[in-house]
Amino acid sequence: MNREEIEYQIQDLKADYVRLQQDLEKLEYVKGNLHPLEKQLSEIEHSLKKLYEQLAAFD
């Protein structure tokens, strides 16, 4: 994977993260089941960490 592909994936994951955070806030308001969204957010955080490590390797 090249630098541009990694940066694109990071931007894509950030957009998903923001969308999921908004969904989580809505579910909190209506007292819905938060666990699946919290799990997805955690997985995205983990993926972002790995991508940032790969990106740092290019520098």
Q: What percent of the chain has pLDDT over 90?
A: 80
What's the confidence (pLDDT) of residue 33? 87
Q: What percent of the chain has pLDDT over 70?
A: 100
pLDDT digits (tens, 9 = 90+) for 30-56: 988 889 999 999 999 999 999 999 999
Is residue 59 pLDDT above 90, yes or no? no
Paired tokens of 24? 């989580």
DSSP alpha helices (H): ranges in the chain?
Answer: 3-29, 35-58
What's the confidence (pLDDT) of residue 1? 83
**What's the whole-number average pLDDT of the chain?**
94
- From residue 46, how far is each of 30, 32, 50 by CA, in Å? 28, 24, 6
